[in-house]
Structure 1
Amino acid sequence: MAVIGVDSETSQDIDRSGPVGWNPFTRLVFRFVFVSFGLMCLLEAQITAVFLGWPAERLAHDTVAWPARLLDPTVKWVGDHVFGVEAVNHDSGSGDQTYNWVQLWCVLMVAVVATVVWTALDRRRPDYRRLAGWFLLVIRVCLGGQMLLYGFAKLIPSQMPEPALSTLLEPYGNMNSMGVLWNQVGSSPSYEILLGAAEVTAGLLLFIPRTAMVGAMLALVDMAMVFVMDMNFDVPVKIGSGFFMLMALVLLTPEAKRLAEMLILDRRPGPSTAPYPFRTPRARRIATLVQLALAIWIAVGLAHASWGIYQQVGSGRPKPPLYGIWTVEEFTRDGQSVPPLLTDENRWQRIVFDYPGFMQYQQMDGTLVPAKLQIDTQSHHLQLQTADAPLSFHEAQPQQQPPSMGDFTFQQSAPDQLRLEGEFNGHPVTVTLHRFDENNFPLRDSGFHWVINYPSS
């Protein structure tokens, strides 16, 4: 069965003659889709980074995002004068900022104007089959790259790592909906790997011309699920996932009749008339090899990047010294024993060592406070510094050294016993702690069972 973007070697498999001309509505829709989707692909820095492969890891964000940066003044002006909002692109990781929505509106308006002008200047052209062939090829390759990006981040479970030790201490109600989704998927690495395998499979199929239609169908299912989760769990990439879902629909549109014949009418589909830019057998073979080489280049780069992130945040990452959750048994401040009162803001309830270079201490009201950590296991010295921003395990090192908040020596009389003695926030402090086994949490201890007589809630 011939598929999207494939010219068969024989005329029996595929018919490239197609209709004599497109109807006016089809030509109008194509012009709008060509301009709007082309602009979106050009402005999406993530697409550029994926195609650059592993060298993109060394490029600054502004380097791959330069087309979008050129529009910054226009987007800001539209935000100020049309919507009355501040359209500034914050480097926060969110793809649903005010800036992104205003930019999307600008893209749609440019596409509308361009479609009107294009239609007025090119009314007599019967169709755009050759241009459509190139357009579908670019869309297919761009979507394939994005599916590999999404897929490898889950196939090598780095996008949603298992819940951190501090997360195990957080009340469920303190999490936002995105945190619930992230921890739900991260708590089952095998489930995350299966999700990634489906997305990687869709991406690879999209790069192979003869399997592109199957890849587009799988990508549509994958991205529809991602879009639904983004909408219902308020994940800030709704514009991106919605766009990728529409890209899959665009790829399937030329084959809609054949899909209906095969899936709904249950009869043998007719020959494909989907446009494809390469006409000779030799050109098609070369194009296929180039696409396969591009798929390998992107896959290797993304696998390398995902593996690097997994080594930092995944379950197999190196554990820091004193790793674990430590419960405070005795807390002495200024030489006086401090009772465990919930109203005491200065006493600790627990401390957590989970990621190298960071520590969190839990106050009596349950608040977890992050701190940067320097620890010397030779001299048994531990120093805490304030974290000027929310705890992030991927943040760059600050240019200025943050102020010190604590300086301790530590002793371990046993693997599950710890004593800290030193100064914290200008006061002499002595803390005696006992390690709590994190595997005692039901989330860590539940595992998998074929037989469950009494389900737990």
Structure 2
Amino acid sequence: MIDGDAQWSLARRLWLSFLGLYFCLNIVPLMVLSVPLVDDWFGMLWLTLWVKLMPILGNAALGIEEPISMELGGSTDMTWNYVQQFWYLVLATVGAVVWAILPHRKWPLPAQYAWLRIIVRHGLAMMMLSYGFIKVFGTQMPPLGPAELSRTYGESSAGGLLWSFMGFSHFYQGFTGMAEVIGGALLLWRRTATLGALVSAGVMAHVVVLNFCYGVGVKIYSSLFLALAVFLAAYHARPLVDLFVRGRPATLADPPPVLSRRMRIARIILKGVVFVSILETPVKLAIRQAAPKPAPGPLDGAWEVVEFVRDGQVHPWSQHDELRWRQLVIPPYPVAMVRGMRGQKTGFGMALDEAAGTMTLTSFADPKVIHALALERPAADELILRGPIAGAEVTVRLQRLDTEHAPLMTRGFRWVIEEGFN
């Protein structure tokens, strides 16, 4: 690392200023959103700010005609996220030009570089540990249930296929999570930060490839985390090349920055906040897993429609029938999902009254759509529903699918495999 400001070229000043501003615009809000007690308050404030800005920065400035949705839908690759990243790049570019040409006598550029690395490695550590812990506890990709086991490959999205693959093996998901936890933990200390950056870069490179190849909606942030890890590792680029490529002895020297008393106090407070934020995730997950699980309901599982009668007319099995049901899936909570013949899914809230023999389905998309159906149980694995649906009298006969004994769930691990079972 070059110690004097005079040896920093204008190009290097611009590059440092640009990366510093762009990384901080991204990582600092994410860090605040991870802090207990202020996360909900700041999250609402942050989202409200962008709701107000999006018609100006997105529709007016970029010529986007359609309204830009800000509803949280399990994706951080929405239109508004790309608009946000565009303006981050603009702000970082303009700010870099201004910042790079200003004199920095009171705060030398090497000190700025050191503090940028401190912020980046703590922010990246928080993200790596957070995502790692939810994999270790098996909550990011939940185990396969009736909804996953009863659908066909063709009905799966690419992201759903990846989620099922990861959720099938708790050990493999935990293994990948531990790799993220190890990388994040190493980033918390300056002496192990380079090793943590290398581990995190390797882990995140794999995550980025999966997200791009399987269309998972976190491509922006996973790419950002990979860039942060590469940025941290690049500090020791020359000695790392000497060690791993040229086979020469190398020293990874990273002297601590010279700090005033106030800055030392600020760093201690930052570390304390980071550690509290990091510990919150595993504590919450441990409490959630220790909590008693709800007992399965009598109708939980996947039900195949064997007969569908609408206004007295039998609808035979046909992939082109948009009215006929194919499956009714009931997870272990008051929710139901109807699969149509083309694989389309409709979610409902479900109220079951076995004593009265009724099942009430309330559409999630339109709560005004309510189906009050009479329920019969001729046998434990048979179900008959009767009542008005979409303006017609419908009778649906269903049979429970035995998803628990599917080959995927019963094959298990085997050391000796005489014949391929694929």
TM-score normalised according to structure 1 size = 0.78
CA contact (8 A) 1:204 1:295 kept: no
Structure 1 partner of 2:338 = 361
- CA 123–168 in structure 1, closer or farther in 2 if over 3 Å, else same: same
Q: Does 1:406 align with 2:372?
A: yes
What CA deviation, in whole Å up to 9, does each residue of 1:99-149 have, x standing for no partner? 322332222222222222233333889951222222211111111111122
CA contact (8 A) 2:3 2:110 kept: no
CA contact (8 A) 1:162 1:187 kept: yes
Structure 1 partner of 2:329 = 352
Cα distance, 1:259 vs. partner? 2.2
- Correspondence for 1:63 among 33, 36, 45: 45
Cα separation, 2, equivalents of 1:143 and 1:66: 25
CA contact (8 A) 1:132 1:275 kept: no
Q: Does 1:387 align with 2:364?
A: yes
- CA 454–115 in structure 1, closer or farther in 2 if over 3 Å, else same: same
Cα distance, 1:451 vs. partner? 1.5
Structure 2 partner of 1:7 = none
Q: Does 1:33 align with 2:37?
A: no
Cα separation, 2, equivalents of 1:332 and 1:86: 41
CA contact (8 A) 2:301 2:401 kept: yes
Cα separation, 2, equivalents of 1:233 and 1:207: 31
Cα separation, 2, equivalents of 1:39 and 1:289: 22
Higher-RCO chain (CA-CA 8 Å, sequence separation at least 6): 1
CA contact (8 A) 2:375 2:383 kept: no
- CA 410–128 in structure 1, closer or farther in 2 if over 3 Å, else same: same
The letter for the 1-side match of 2:36 is G
Structure 2 partner of 1:207 = 188
- CA 20–274 in structure 1, closer or farther in 2 if over 3 Å, else same: farther
What is the alpha-carbon root mean square deviation over aligned residues? 3.6
- CA 275–242 in structure 1, closer or farther in 2 if over 3 Å, else same: farther
Cα separation, 2, equivalents of 1:388 and 1:48: 33
Q: Does 1:88 align with 2:54?
A: no
Q: Does 1:161 align with 2:103?
A: no
- CA 70–171 in structure 1, closer or farther in 2 if over 3 Å, else same: same
Cα separation, 1, equivalents of 2:83 and 2:395: 54
Structure 2 partner of 1:236 = 217
Cα distance, 1:263 vs. partner? 2.7
Q: Does 1:47 align with 2:31?
A: yes
CA contact (8 A) 1:254 1:273 kept: no
Aligned residues: 418
CA contact (8 A) 2:32 2:42 kept: no
- Correspondence for 1:77 among 45, 60, 68: 60
Cα distance, 1:361 vs. partner? 3.1
- CA 271–197 in structure 1, closer or farther in 2 if over 3 Å, else same: closer
- CA 291–318 in structure 1, closer or farther in 2 if over 3 Å, else same: farther
The letter for the 1-side match of 2:62 is G
- CA 113–274 in structure 1, closer or farther in 2 if over 3 Å, else same: farther
Q: Which runs of 5+ in 2 are unaligned?
A: none
Tell which deviates more after alignment, 198-207 or 366-375. 366-375
Cα distance, 1:380 vs. partner? 3.9
- CA 64–321 in structure 1, closer or farther in 2 if over 3 Å, else same: farther
CA contact (8 A) 1:157 1:310 kept: no
What CA deviation, in whole Å up to 9, does each residue of 1:136-169 have, x standing for no partner? 1111111111112211221122222234423333
Cα distance, 1:30 vs. partner? 1.3
Q: Which runs of 5+ in 1 are unaligned?
A: 1-15, 390-400
Structure 1 partner of 2:8 = 23
What CA deviation, in whole Å up to 9, does each residue of 1:306-351 have, x standing for no partner? 5688799xxx6653441112234455555x5836442655554432
Structure 1 partner of 2:238 = 257
Cα separation, 1, equivalents of 2:286 and 2:396: 38
The letter for the 2-side match of 1:408 is A
TM-score normalised according to structure 2 size = 0.84
Cα separation, 1, equivalents of 2:257 and 2:7: 16
CA contact (8 A) 2:155 2:343 kept: no
The letter for the 1-side match of 2:373 is D
- CA 359–200 in structure 1, closer or farther in 2 if over 3 Å, else same: same
CA contact (8 A) 1:332 1:430 kept: yes
CA contact (8 A) 1:325 1:351 kept: yes
- CA 200–70 in structure 1, closer or farther in 2 if over 3 Å, else same: farther
Cα separation, 2, equivalents of 1:425 and 1:67: 41
